[in-house]
Amino acid sequence: MIIAEIGLNHKGQRHIVDEYIRKLLATNVDAITLQVRESEYYDLKPELKLLPNDYIVISSKISNSDKKFGIAIADIDQIDFFESIDVDFYKVIRNDMLNDDLIKKLINTNKKIIVSTGTCSHQEIRTFVNKYKTNNIVLNHTQLSYNINDCNLSAINLLKSEFGIDISYGSHCSNHNVLYMALAYEPSDILFYVKGQIGTYPDDKHAISIHNVYDVVNNLKSLSQAIGSSIKSKMEIKIK
């Protein structure tokens, strides 16, 4: 899937979310996510919190389209609510793959879970996979850095080879062309943040302007066809 992440870039305002949703539904993204942080985070930044009814309306709008709705969740106490509105999948953020209570409850939903490798070491990732390797777990290779030299895209192949499970790619790089380069490593999913055209946002430097998402997604889907099967076979000349 190609997944557009609104994250917290709605700034806690429903009209901003509605504008994102309206524009994303007009693109070829496969899924849309919002982020729900732990209660302590909202104690410090209450202005970024959406209300339960907001999620109900958002879920209804997305479910009436051909796209999936996911929640990047850090608050275990909110899982039951999101199950009640039947979100399609979950994402585990930062280093919360080390949060056993959260992971176990998410696994019990039987939904797809995209688990960010975030700041975790290779050994921590190995320990996690040994504990929780199931059909609904996807590891998300991501680096919490804007710098292109920190992307380490080759880790996608290493993780696939070692663990034998799907590996997705989530970009925090300020050079958005890295998304296209990631296609060559054939991640199961590609995730990127979106933002409005004006102002600053919680996830700003690495987010793609909502007005550019249409072209970025079309490029991703078109360029993925260039990967091929790796088999060099005889073919007719197709150029003049």
Evaluate whether 74 touches 37 at the Cβ level (below 8 Å): yes
For 108-137, the pLDDT digits (tens) are 999 999 999 988 899 999 999 999 988 799
For 152-209, the pLDDT digits (tens) are 999 999 999 999 999 999 999 999 999 999 999 999 999 999 999 888 999 999 999 9
The stretch 215-219 carries a mean pLDDT of 97
Q: Which of 116, 64, 103, 104 is nearest to 86 (CA)?
A: 64
Q: What is the pTM of this model?
A: 0.94
Domain 2-226, what fold?
A: TIM Barrel (3.20.20)
Q: Which of 187, 124, 123, 126 is nearest to 151 (CA)?
A: 187
pLDDT value, residue 13: 93
How many Cα atoms within 13 Å fall on the side-chain side of residue 214? Answer: 8
Please state whether beta strands 190-195 and 2-7 pair in parallel, antiparallel, or not at all (unpaired): parallel
Instruction: Return the bridge partners of 140, or none.
Output: 116, 168
Domain ranges of the chain: 2-226
The stretch 14-29 carries a mean pLDDT of 95
Residue 228 has pLDDT above 90, yes or no: no
